Structure 1
Amino acid sequence: MPVGRWHLLPGTLCTAEVFSGFLDHLRVPVACRIPWEISQPSVDDYRQKFIQEIRSGDVVCGFSLGAIVAAHHADTLPADCPLILFGINPLPDAPTRKPDRESLRNDVTQYGGRAALANRLRDGKNAMSDDVIERILVMAEQSENLIDAQTQLALTRPGAMDALSQSQAHIIAISGRMDQQADPTHAVKIANSVLRGQFAVLPDVGHYMLLENAQVCANAVASAFEATFSPEKHRS
């Protein structure tokens, strides 16, 4: 298991708290967890931060929009800096997503993050527990001031496959089989397109897999790390 710092990039209307249970299962010390804020309107706005703040041996872990940001800068990462991507769509945003994204932004601006997400999460299309939904709504309240920048970033991203394919880092892409926001086949596509890639498609969880079943997510990452970083892997 890598022992460096973990840079945590959360998704739209999320905070780094989305990773907490997952990191607890992996026994990552709190002092090693570095939360990022997705607060800039363009993926290019983060490039200098990646170059300046991520060093050899660190781990970069992104969820949803945060995973998209991380993927766009995968080519800046040191070769020994693992990149973990949860619930990612590495392609440019589909034009058909624009009305939904703008509707969410408008509702957050008018009613607040909790109210804007509450009905969307309880519309009967997902099987998340009330506890998981409440944790999402709390994060939405805490990050609602970022919705304008996050919406602009999501709508204008150019696609991350070029940066991923040029990366020297080990890349682990993880999706939930029930994800209705990011097609699980993206994880497979990424793993097959990069120099050193692995993927896992987890059963019985959706887009918010980190909250739905943090243990399963931790197990998937631990298995990927074991296959890559175990002493047997490097024994001559």
Structure 2
Amino acid sequence: MSELFDEVDEEVRREQLKKLWDRYSIFIIAAALLVIAAVGAWRGYQYLEAQKAAEAGAAFDAAIDLSEQGKHSEAEAAFDKLATSAPSGYRTLARLRAAGEVATRDPKAGAKLYDEIAADRSIGTVQQDLARVRAAALLLDTESYPNMLQRLEAAAKPDATFRHTARELLALSAWRANDTTAARQWLDMIANDGETPSAMRQRAEALQALLPPVAKS
């Protein structure tokens, strides 16, 4: 008798499932097709993005080769093109390299391009600081110490990525301006930072030796 009831229950379940399928099959099929289409579209997008990145990487390497061959005008044009058409990861790098190419023929023009990058808040603090440091390096011999301080003070903070180079540039600028107090301040920061590169530490020690001794009170 129990087997008969089991067969009846099974038949009822099948009938219920058939009714559900008849009523909702179109929606189930549509949902499945949407999922398949979405996965296909995402895979296609990933493929296209990877292809664009690969093409941009090859073009970037080719532009670097032009620069290393001394073909700065051609390299500049190649980097400019990448700065407008490459995926976001390469655009900022291309802008930085293009500014460097311009700087080979016109340091002030190159510094101006770096300043534009440094003012672009959309690219991130690290890239902005790199642009600030490179612009300041180009203008070291012509900018006053107060102007250099304005340019580099933020990049010289303890948590800044390029603080070592920023501090060295500020020390050199202060030394050129005969501001021994400021020069010593930056040299001390270089010496007291445990992460200062050894070569830079040696340069700082050499510059420190050129400063007059601190007056005793």
| TM-score (normalised: structure 2) | 0.22
Query: In proportion to residue count, which structure has more strand?
Result: 1
Query: TM-score, with normalisation over the residues of structure 1?
Result: 0.21
Bigger radius of gyration among the two = 2
Q: Which one has more relative contact order, counting CA pairs under 8 Å at least 6 apart?
A: 1
